[in-house]
Amino acid sequence: MTRVLFPAVLLASMLSACQTAPPPAASRPAAAPPEAVGWRREADPADVALVANVRLAWQRALENAGKAGFGRAVAAEGRLLAPDAALPFPAPSPGSYMCRTIRFALPARRTPAFAAYKEFFCYVGAEDGLLFLAKQTGTEKPSGYLLDSDDKKSLVFLGSMASGNAPPTAYGTDRSRDLAGVLERVGPLRFRLVIPRDISQGRLDILELVPAPVQIEE
């Protein structure tokens, strides 16, 4: 049975977020954190398959974007959208980040094959030796834990999506909101969270993370 995973502190930090300053760091999650090793025991089998097939999702997403005329837009993002760009030491340092979503979708009448959105605030925290990540502002707010993977170039993300003013939920509580993916480092102080949505259709979300500028009070 999939264990419910949710650092309740994310709710407090997300609600306190604003557009003008990074939200304050928060303390310990109320729920027990997942195990760092053996993340497959925590994940739904469908999410295990998504993580295992991230490379195939990349391939189909890039093919769809190219066929739809977004080749230059993809190339302009450089290493961020290069499937093999992952570097060693993927764990981000705890703190505030600016995060930007890039979405690959199945082309439709009202859905482009490629879309890049503006920056919002994210927060990376550490509890009991584990990292968690929360997008704090914006319409869609993924949040969850970052767990050890089978290699040295990625962490596995297990979390959920909160939309609009809806409160975040724990992974495993509502399958329609559950998320699974991998977090990788693609440059100095530059990370990406890759969330495959549908392998066969090439639906893929990329969340770019770079440290938020330090604000100095005068």
pTM recorded for the entire structure: 0.83
In a domain, 216, yes or no: no
For residue 150, the model assigns a pLDDT of 83
Q: How confident is the model at residue 168 (pLDDT cuts 50, 70, 90)?
A: confident
In a domain, 20, yes or no: no
In a domain, 134, yes or no: yes
Q: How confident is the model at residue 63 (pLDDT cuts 50, 70, 90)?
A: very high
Q: Please state the φ and ψ torsions of residue 66, each to the nearest 5 degrees.
A: -65, -45
Instruction: State the Cα–Cα distance between residues 166 and 185, nearest whole angstrom.
Output: 30
In a domain, 28, yes or no: no
* Closest to 43 in 3D by CA, of 83, 80, 4, 88: 4
Q: In which domain, by residue range, is 198 found?
A: 9-15+39-211
Mean pLDDT across the stretch 53-60? 94
Instruction: State the Cα–Cα distance between residues 5 and 173, nearest whole angstrom.
Output: 8
Instruction: State the Cα–Cα distance between residues 7 and 12, nearest whole angstrom.
Output: 10
Instruction: State the Cα–Cα distance between residues 125 and 28, nearest whole angstrom.
Output: 9
For residue 20, the model assigns a pLDDT of 45
In a domain, 183, yes or no: yes
Q: How confident is the model at residue 70 (pLDDT cuts 50, 70, 90)?
A: very high
For residue 13, the model assigns a pLDDT of 47
Instruction: State the Cα–Cα distance between residues 188 and 173, nearest whole angstrom.
Output: 35
In a domain, 125, yes or no: yes
Using one digit for the tens of pLDDT, what is the confidence trace for 7-28?
544 444 444 444 445 454 443 3
In a domain, 87, yes or no: yes
In a domain, 151, yes or no: yes
State how many domains the chain has. Answer: 1
Using one digit for the tens of pLDDT, what is the confidence trace for 114-126?
999 999 999 999 9
Instruction: State the Cα–Cα distance between residues 63 and 83, nearest whole angstrom.
Output: 12
